[in-house]
Amino acid sequence: MSLREDREILHEVAEELKRILFLCKSRGTYKGGSFGLTNSAAFVAQSLPDGVAAKLVSVVDGNDVDREVTAFRPDIVILEAIWVTPEKLRELSRLHPAVEWIVRIHSKVTFLAQEGIAFEWIREFVKIPRVRVSANNLEFNNDLQAIGIDAVYLPNFYPISEVSLDDRIRRKVAWLFLHSSIGMPDNSRVHVGCFGAIRLLKNHLGQAVAAMRFAESIGRRLAFHINNDDPERTDNVIKNLRALFAGTKHFLHEHAWRPHDRFCELVSVMDICLQVSLSESFNIVTADAVAAGVPVVASTEVKHVHWLFRSANDTRQMVRAMCLAWAMGSAGALLNRRLLQRSNRLAMREWSRFVMPVQAVPEVDPIADAQFWVNEIPLRANRSLAQ
């Protein structure tokens, strides 16, 4: 059954529609671009079953929440990430006694360890009436439940659309511009994208070393692409990246943040994308590359990439996975795309269980699903290789 058919069935049998308000904290540092958290919330809000009224708003801080809830009158408010204090959320719960509140966490334990207030606040949240926490990662959601925290699993959804003729033309123009601006002939370079926020746990430096080794192994110069708005930025990761490329035949390219559609155009002209970070709960940049048909090597924690293209934090493993992704090309990209589509189907079922009566959710057919992966995917991959 397709995702579209699932949504149609859910809409037909829904007994009660709900109004859902997604709230993100505004981030001024992205200068008009977009970032993963808002994209994540927007994709879910836009993909819920027809008839569910969903709205996404970015606010400055917790003091703006009451205004938005009063204006929209939702049944459910989903606070994306941990940013509203327990004191403020307790006050909001009293002001809006008919509202169910969900604090949706987009990180796993390794990343949360950097936030000194994370588990202190989580423990306080679940003491407040009509407030629950949620994880977008099943493993972490199970961890929370195992330690006595009532958590609801609300995973990410990533919309995939077919590439139109206009999209292909825009990508070709972006590809030509990229090559002309760098001044590198096609047969002398390999473009590797390692996009996303630059943080220690994102492992940019380790991935840059692996990308250099990969480029050397195929006899090409490396163009390594990252996101950075500030040319004056001098934190340790950026300093080390710039020093790594200085005086070599390889190139480091720093791109400003941009709206999601334009960012996807940039991703689409990469030869390979790397997302071998040290902790991941989903990773939207990987989904961007998968949807664009770009070969990807990702962390072992990213489940919407085929296991052939997942790597631990080891440069030799990364290089091997990059060589395989490079060799398989569109066949490997097809495997990843099917995994992302499956992830979407399962995510929509989880969200539908949350917003609609249990009987409205069509069950997964495990036998049909297993037969698809055993029989259909190898056949399609072989056809793609043959072409």
pLDDT number for residue 135: 96
324, 317 Cβ separation under 8 angstroms: no
Does residue 370 lie within any of the structural domains? no
Last residue of one domain, picked from the residues 317, 339, 361? 339
pTM above 0.75, yes or no: yes
Does residue 278 lie within any of the structural domains? yes
pLDDT number for residue 11: 46
Q: Are residues 179 and 303 in the same domain?
A: yes
Q: Which amino acid is at 116?
A: G
- Tell me the CATH number at 58: 3.40.50.2000
Q: What is the pLDDT of residues 231-283, one digit of tens each?
A: 888 889 999 999 999 999 999 999 999 999 899 999 999 999 999 999 999 99
For every residue of 220-285, which 3-state class applies, written as one string? CEEEEEEECCCCCCCCHHHHHHHHHHCCCCCEEEEECCCCHHHHHHHHHCCCEEEECCCCCCCCHH
Does residue 286 lie within any of the structural domains? yes
Distance of alpha carbon 47 from alpha carbon 351, whole angstroms: 10
Distance of alpha carbon 84 from alpha carbon 118, whole angstroms: 11
Q: Are residues 105 and 129 in the same domain?
A: yes
Q: Are residues 238 and 179 in the same domain?
A: yes
Instruction: Mention every residue, 6+ apart, whose C-beta is less than 8 A from residue 205.
Output: 237, 240, 241, 244
**Crossing angle of helices 377-386/330-355, nearest 10°?**
150
pLDDT number for residue 231: 83
State the DSSP code for 60: S
Q: Are residues 208 and 147 in the same domain?
A: no
Distance of alpha carbon 192 from alpha carbon 273, whole angstroms: 5
Give the pLDDT mean for 284-292: 95
Q: Are residues 63 and 170 in the same domain?
A: no
78, 20 Cβ separation under 8 angstroms: yes
Name the pLDDT band for 62 (thresholds 50, 70, 90): confident
Does residue 362 lie within any of the structural domains? no
Q: Are residues 252 and 311 in the same domain?
A: yes
Report the side by side order of strands in the sheet with 76-80: 53-59, 19-25, 76-80, 100-105, 131-135, 151-153
User: Mapping DSSP to helix (H, G, I), strand (E, B) and coil, where does residue 59 land?
Assistant: strand
pLDDT number for residue 181: 54
Provide the domain limits for residue 238: 165-339
- Mind giving me the DSSP string for 366-378? HHHHHHIIIIIHH
Distance of alpha carbon 62 from alpha carbon 125, whole angstroms: 14
Q: What is the pLDDT of residues 122-168, one digit of tens each?
A: 999 999 999 999 999 999 999 999 999 999 999 999 998 754 445 55
Q: Are residues 271 and 300 in the same domain?
A: yes
> In the chain, how many domains are there?
2
Q: Are residues 239 and 189 in the same domain?
A: yes
Does residue 37 lie within any of the structural domains? yes
Token look-up 């709206």 returns 259
Give the pLDDT mean for 95-102: 96
Q: Are residues 109 and 255 in the same domain?
A: no
Last residue of one domain, picked from the residues 126, 154, 182? 154
User: Mapping DSSP to helix (H, G, I), strand (E, B) and coil, where does residue 76 land?
Assistant: strand
Last residue of one domain, picked from the residues 124, 154, 184? 154
Does residue 381 lie within any of the structural domains? no
Does residue 374 lie within any of the structural domains? no
